[in-house]
A and B are shown apart, each in its own frame.
Chain A
Amino acid sequence: MPAERPRHNVVLLSLSLVGLLVWLTLDTVSVAPNRIVPGTAHGLAASLGWAGALVSALPLLALAALSRRPTPAALLLALGLTVLMLAALPLWLSLAAHRLVDPGAAGARLGVGAGVWLLLFLLLMLLVELRGRLALSRLAGVALLALPLAVLGLCLSRWLAPLALWQEFQGRRDQFLGAVLEHLALVGAAVGASLVLGVAAALAMRRWQAAQRIGFGMLNVLQTIPSIALFGLLLAPLAWLSAHVDWLAALGVSGIGAAPALLALVGYSLLPMVRNTFVALEAVDPGVIDAARGMGMSRGQVFRQVRLPLALPVILEGVRITTVQAIGLTAVAALIGAGGLGTFIFQGLGQAAMDLVLLGALPILALALVADALLGALTDTLRPGGAA
């Protein structure tokens, strides 16, 4: 029975206890003298001492205690504690850098260990859980991250110079900026092109039934083909074209690089775009269309003033799916020389430099999450009557 559930919050309890376990037992940092040599792993006690380690576990214990009586006030307190712990992580990392990395050794670097990554993940899960229980908006959830991010920024600029990830970034500052821009440009171009083509295709499918089956059939097959294979299959024909058609070559079209990447990205983006646009336009309540025509609106008026506005949120949903998907696929495109953040991933994998891999993977993750959140919020505001 819903009314007779246990009163304590099991989720909060288990997340905080697991957090406690990983934080106290797993390796938290590793220190390496330079980029090549694998680092020495350290537990928590190395950076904080035993007493410090136990003190640092107190907030997690407090969370576990709060889970016994999850009143709204207690949950709010738990949320506050979680945000503070997230903010404290960079500070602790600075301390670890100060204590464990020899300031004299120029190339020495600090790596972040499994314990910290897992704790970070668990804390973010706590944030998601508490935000849900307290029914806070998406925006509030993002706002909660402001403090931890600000602290992280401060620490990076002051004390975290030995952090390996940060060193990789410092070594490639300009390259990194360029890669982000390339990545965004490819995604933007692919989504933009597929939006235009997708809407056109959806409109065509509404008019000609035959186009529907064939169109969706083809796009479905295309979507199934793995990106790496599609990039590969485009390589040969595009190389041939650039070798034999001068003006294409002049445009920069070749077997590798941005041209096959963009072509493939547009291909992948078409299915979600067409499907959402088509479904959105078809799914408008026929009663509403009937009423609109009954009032004497012309076909064009019905489409522009009724059907399109009502369909817009679902079409935007398609743009959101497409964008998130394109951000991920563009990373793969780095394999065929299209540039973007994927370059770091594959370079890093090639050189077995894990922090370089992170330098590519983490921003891609962030881009995907931010794009998802922004477009999701936009969809919500466009929905008639506000967020559903």
Chain B
Amino acid sequence: MIDLIHVTKRFGDAVAVDDISLSVARGELCVLVGTSGCGKSTTLRMINRLIEHSEGEIHIDGQQIRDFREEHLRRRMGYAIQSTGLFPHWTVARNIGLVPRLLKWPAARVRARVEELMGLLGLSMAEFADKYPHQLSGGQAQRVGVARALAADPDILLMDEPFGALDPLTREGLQEELRALQGRLEKTIVFVTHDMDEALRLADHLVVMHQGRIKQQGRPLELLREPADAFVESLLGGEDRGLKEAALLPVSQRMLPLGPRLLARERIGQQASLREALSLMLWRHAERLTVVDDDDLPVGELSLRRLVGARSDD
């Protein structure tokens, strides 16, 4: 869907992005992660030509992005940024309808689409449609920002630290919603963040960048288990790596079928992460947990031994 082939960006003599190659498959959520100044935002902004790349090629669906008119290219992609960039003089509804109107959709269709999106992002039409951005909380404004990015139903969504300025609770809520949305809408998303927990939680495809280069890319678990070098390892959490990995694995992967023994008193859902399971064990001083399904029926059990068990068990 999106291919970057030996792409380089120079600002004057400074090299911001140095010969990177990257492929994002259709429907994939690709997260670019790295410290500030590593070139991740520049890379993102080269995809919709807010910044022109200096060398190499960028393709969308096999077509060079320079073959499109800038504005037309951008109207095909959603774009959401940390500071939302909502137009302060427009209402929420008008903000969301921006790109459809640029694409000259008929008014009725724009209105219907705005209503649909507000529903999708949990914004009540009656309450929010006529509000102005300065009347929204940070989380609400960010929802509007995402709705605006999705408005013309683009295949591609570019997101530049969209949740960076939110409090942890709101952020986690929106991360979950984004995952759910992506599961349903099958967008191809490129997401930039400096928060490794966010990156691990969201990514199908994780790209670690440093000083303008791609240090390592692959599935989050691969990176966690086999970091290419000390830098990636430290960025991935160093001593906390075990916990970060546990956070990515569901209980269902390690549980054993119900045995003949009595059920353990503490219960945990099978979709919960191993990290949550470990936390529960520590808190309750329990060595065994009963794993339950969505209807709270026991489906298996998880022991501390299994939880920390050998990888060959996967």
- Is any CB of A less than 8 Å from a CB of B in the complex? yes
Residues of chain A touching chain B, judged by Cβ–Cβ distance below 8 Å, are 1, 3
**Could you say which residues of chain B place their CB within 8 Å of the CB of A1?**
51-52
Q: Would you call B12 an interface residue if the criterion is a C-beta within 8 Å of the partner chain's C-beta atoms?
A: yes
Q: Contact flags (1/0) for B7-22 with A, using CB distance below 8 Å?
A: 0001110000000000
**From A1, which residue of chain B is reached at the shortest CB distance?**
B52
In Å, the complex CA distance between A1 and B10 comes to: 11
Interface size class of chain B, counting residues whose CB lies under 8 Å from the partner chain: under 10
In the complex, chain A residues whose CB is within 8 Å of the CB of B12: 3
Closest A residue to B10 by beta carbon equals A3
5 CB contacts below 8 A, A to B, read A1-B51, A1-B52, A3-B10, A3-B11, A3-B12
| Shortest Cβ distance from B13 into A: residue | A3
Cα A3 to Cα B42 with chains together (Å) = 14
Q: Measured between C-beta atoms, what is the minimum distance from A7 to chain B in Å?
A: 11
Closest A residue to B9 using CB positions: A3
Q: Which 5 A-B pairs have the closest CB atoms?
A: A3-B11, A3-B12, A1-B52, A1-B51, A3-B10
- What are the residues of chain A within 8 A of B11 when measuring CB–CB? 3
Set of chain A residues within 8 Å of B52, measured between Cβ atoms: 1
A361 to B12, CA, bound (A): 48
The number of residue pairs between A and B whose CB atoms lie closer than 8 Å in the complex comes to 5
In the assembled complex, the CB of B57 is this many whole angstroms from the nearest CB of chain A, namely 19
Q: In whole angstroms, what is the CA distance A384 to B14 when docked?
A: 35
Complex interface residues of chain B between 1 and 48 (CB less than 8 A to chain A) = 10-12
Minimum distance in angstroms from B199 CB to a CB of chain A = 29
CA of A214 to CA of B51, assembled, Å: 53
A3 to B51 CA separation, bound complex (whole angstroms): 11
Q: Smallest CB–CB gap between B79 and chain A, Å?
A: 18
Chain B min CB distance to A71 (Å) = 14
Q: A114 to B51, alpha carbons, bound, how many Å?
A: 47
Shortest Cβ gap from A227 to chain B (Å)? 37
B residues 190-236 with Cβ under 8 Å of A?
A: none
Residues of A within 8 A of B51 (CB): 1
- Per the 8 Å Cβ criterion, residues 247-296 of B in contact with A are none
User: B178 → chain A, closest Cβ, in Å?
Assistant: 31
Nearest CB to that of A4 among chain B residues? Answer: B52
Least CB separation from A3: chain B residue? B11
- Within B109-162, the residues touching A (CB, 8 Å) are none
In angstroms, Cα B52 to Cα A346, docked, is: 60
Complex Cα spacing A362 to B51, Å? 50
Q: Which of chain B's residues have a CB closer than 8 A to the CB of A3?
A: 10-12
A214 to B21: give the CA distance in the assembly, Å.
67
Closest Cβ of chain A to B212, distance in Å, is 15
> Contact flags (1/0) for B50-67 with A, using CB distance below 8 Å?
011000000000000000
Chain A residues positioned under 8 Å from B10 (CB to CB):
3
* Closest CB in chain A relative to B16 CB, distance in Å: 10
Nearest CB in chain B: distance from A75 CB, A: 18
* Cα distance A3–B52 in the bound complex, in angstroms: 11
Bound CA–CA A1/B225 (angstroms): 41
How long is the Cα–Cα vector from A1 to B12 in the complex, in angstroms? 11
When chains A and B are docked, how far (Å) is the Cα of A3 from the Cα of B10?
9
Chain B residue nearest to A2 in the complex (CB): B11
Complex CA–CA separation, A158 to B292 (angstroms): 106
| Shortest Cβ gap from A250 to chain B (Å) | 61
Which residue from chain A places its CB closest to the CB of B16 in the assembled complex? A3
Question: Roughly how many angstroms separate A255 CA and B18 CA in the complex, as a whole number?
Answer: 79
In the complex, what distance in Å separates the CA atom of A3 from the CA atom of B11? 6
User: In angstroms, how far is the closest chain A Cβ from the Cβ of B52?
Assistant: 6
Which residue of chain A lies nearest to B11 when distances are taken between CB atoms in the complex?
A: A3
Bound CA span A1–B16, Å? 14
Complex: A49 Cα to B51 Cα, angstroms: 55
What is the CB-to-nearest-CB distance from A104 to chain B, in angstroms, rounded to a whole number?
65
Q: How far is the CB of B7 from chain A (nearest CB, A)?
A: 16
Closest chain-B Cβ to A4's Cβ sits at a distance in Å of 8
Closest-CB distance, B302 to chain A (whole angstroms): 50
Q: For the complex, give the distance between the alpha carbons of A3 and B14 in Å.
A: 10
Q: How far is the CA of A1 from the CA of B11 in the complex (A)?
A: 9
Closest approach, in angstroms, between the C-beta of A70 and any C-beta of chain B? 15
Q: Once the chains are docked, how many angstroms separate the CA of A121 from the CA of B240?
A: 68
Assembled-state Cα–Cα distance A3/B9 (Å) = 11
When chains A and B are docked, how far (Å) is the Cα of A118 from the Cα of B10?
Answer: 43
Query: What's the nearest-Cβ distance from chain B to residue A79, in Å?
Result: 24
Smallest CB separation, B107 vs chain A (Å): 36
CB proximity of A329 to chain B, nearest CB, Å: 37
Chain B nearest CB from A69 CB (Å) reads 16
Complex: chain A residue closest to B14, CB-CB? A3
**What's the minimum C-beta distance from B9 to chain A, rounded to whole angstroms?**
10
CB distance from B34 to the nearest CB of A (A): 22
Please, which residue of chain A has its CB at the minimum distance from the CB of B12?
A3
